[in-house]
Structure 1
Amino acid sequence: MKLRLLLFVCLSMSGISLAQPSADQQIRAIRQQFNEAIARHDTTHLASFFTDDYTLLSARNTEAKGKEGGKRALANAFRTQKNVVYVRTPTQIDVFASWHMASETGRWTGTWQETDGTVMLTGTYLAKWHQINGQWALRAEVFTPLTCSGSSYCEKGPGVK
């Protein structure tokens, strides 16, 4: 009993909490891991964040379905866009705990090298999370572009010839 009390006092004084992180904190931590996996171009790790029925709607209106579809879409970006890095930054996470779902909204950036300059594409996104067996996973993501600069790539939006 004295050992437990001593451990509790030491942890309390060090600022370490034994409390379970909130759903918001868990999702933000997963999003950070996701961003790190994108920076490494680690499609296997990225796919581990998706539900089996994951759905993606990209900034250029590309659709991907399922865990493998999401993995292929990211692998294609890594293969075709030199030095590509995408960063998602959550601005708000709303949790519906009784249904084990959450909504994440935020801003995203994409940068990569084209022959005539470095593309900087930015916008907003909406992600739907689902907690399955105690783990949060991405069920859907929708990306809307708002700015593009740095290359003639920006002149060629979806459907532009």
Structure 2
Amino acid sequence: MIIATAPAETAIRRARAQSNRRIAAHDADGAVAMMADAVLVIPSGGGPISGRAAVRAAFAAGFADPDFLTYERLPDRIEVTADGSGATETGRWRGLWKPRSGQLALSGHYVARWRQDGGRWITLSEIFEPEQA
């Protein structure tokens, strides 16, 4: 792998920022709009979630919590495959809740795999590791 070329990195960072905004707005459909139908997500505190519909349902359940604020993924590095058709994103993530919840934040590191599909970048998988104490 090589470090991302500017256009691919910019497109992926924009897609990530849009996803973060949709999660903050508690928009379950928008939160999964950039994901492949067969996406695989491994959350930090649970088992794998397979498929966009299942990930959407997980987001909707989280959004139903009145104390939940948002999840953010903050990319540090994006690398593109030599042929330009795929990419790997690594960075830090955090989840935020209202103070009354007793659980203000969770955080850690993540890795996401991307693929170009019809001129746009879609997420194939995301793995979230919790912060180590």
**Same fold at TM > 0.5:** yes
How many residues align structurally?
128
TM-score normalised to the size of structure 1?
0.73
Which has the higher Rg, Structure 1 or Structure 2?
Answer: 1
Cα distance between partner residues in 1 of 2:12 and 2:119: 12
Residue identity over aligned pairs, in percent, reads 32
What are structure 2's unaligned runs of at least 5 residues?
A: 1-5
Give the match's secondary structure for 1:52.
strand
Compared with structure 1, are the counterparts of its residues 44 and 116 closer, same or farther at alpha carbon in structure 2 (3 Å cutoff)?
closer
Kindly report which structure 2 residues correspond to 1:8-157, keeping only aligned pairs within 5 A, or say none: 22-80=7-65, 82-98=67-83, 100-113=85-98, 115=100, 117-146=102-131
CA RMSD for the aligned pairs? Answer: 1.9
Compared with structure 1, are the counterparts of its residues 91 and 36 closer, same or farther at alpha carbon in structure 2 (3 Å cutoff)?
same
Give the match's secondary structure for 1:68.
helix
Give the match's secondary structure for 1:110.
strand
Cα contact 1:122–1:146 (8 A) shared by 2: yes
Q: Which runs of 4+ in 1 moved over 3 A?
A: 113-116
Give the match's secondary structure for 1:59.
coil
Cα distance between partner residues in 2 of 1:42 and 1:60: 22
Give the match's secondary structure for 1:103.
strand
Task: Kindly indicate whether structure 1 or structure 2 has the higher relative contact order, using CA contacts under 8 Å at least 6 residues apart.
Answer: 2
What are structure 1's unaligned runs of at least 5 residues?
A: 1-20, 149-161
